Amino acid sequence: MPHTRVGGARGVGRYLGNMEVASHGTEEHLAREIKRLQWRHHRELDRRMRAIGSTIVQWDVLRALSVDPNASGHDLALATFQSDQSLGQMIRRMEARGLITRSNPQGRRWLHQITPSGAEILAAGHSFAAEIFEQSFGKLSHEQRQQLAELLTVLNATED
């Protein structure tokens, strides 16, 4: 199938087959646009985090810990979209770097604490994210931002 390059962020090769563009509807386009925006945000945030010696994944773990310091490893894995095994490896690396400490006074359940170095990484990540998100969402009015947030909340709601 021949491919057409769809313009966008530098270095992101988004190729769509011509037939795909012509035969698929608005929902597929919408899903791709959401993913494209997320990809742009992640690339830029990871670039900035690497410049200070960290990664977007480490920042995300620190962010999740700051929201729920008593979270289990499994809860943190879910909050950061990682497997339990990947998160365990990440936590060990972060502990070795002095970004977090952990203890297990309750048997198998580990308690995690953010260190001052981890707090610096967390604050820098928040600052970077605010700048990046403002660049994207600043194109929308306050009302449009609220509407988008409400629509995405509806789409992400799980049915139990």
Overall domain count for the chain: 1
Contact 125, 49 (CB under 8 A): yes
Whether 160 is covered by a domain: the verdict is: no
Contact 102, 95 (CB under 8 A): yes
Whether 158 shows a pLDDT value over 50: the answer reads: yes
Whether 152 shows a pLDDT value over 60: the answer reads: yes
Q: Report the alpha-carbon distance of residue 160 to residue 134 in Å, rounded.
A: 34
Question: How many percent of the chain have pLDDT more than 90?
Answer: 66
CATH code of 66's domain: 1.10.10.10
Whether 73 is covered by a domain: the verdict is: yes
pLDDT of residue 133: 96
| More confidently predicted of 126 and 74 | 126
Whether 17 is covered by a domain: the verdict is: no
Whether 15 shows a pLDDT value over 50: the answer reads: no
pLDDT of residue 36: 95
Tens digits of residue pLDDT in 20-38:
444 467 889 999 999 999 9
Whether 6 is covered by a domain: the verdict is: no
Nearest Cα neighbor of 12 from 33, 30, 28, 29 is 33
Q: Report the alpha-carbon distance of residue 87 to residue 58 in Å, rounded.
A: 10
Domain containing 71 equals 25-131
Mean pLDDT to the nearest integer, 91-118:
88
Whether 80 shows a pLDDT value over 90: the answer reads: yes
Mean of pLDDT over the chain: 85
pLDDT of residue 23: 46
pLDDT of residue 110: 79
Q: Which residues of 77-91 are buried (b: 16+ CB within 10 A; e: fewer)?
A: bebbebeeeebbebb
What count of residues does the chain have? Answer: 160
Whether 64 is covered by a domain: the verdict is: yes
Whether 115 is covered by a domain: the verdict is: yes
Whether 43 shows a pLDDT value over 90: the answer reads: yes
Q: Report the alpha-carbon distance of residue 44 to residue 132 in Å, rounded.
A: 7
Whether 1 shows a pLDDT value over 50: the answer reads: no
Whether 4 is covered by a domain: the verdict is: no
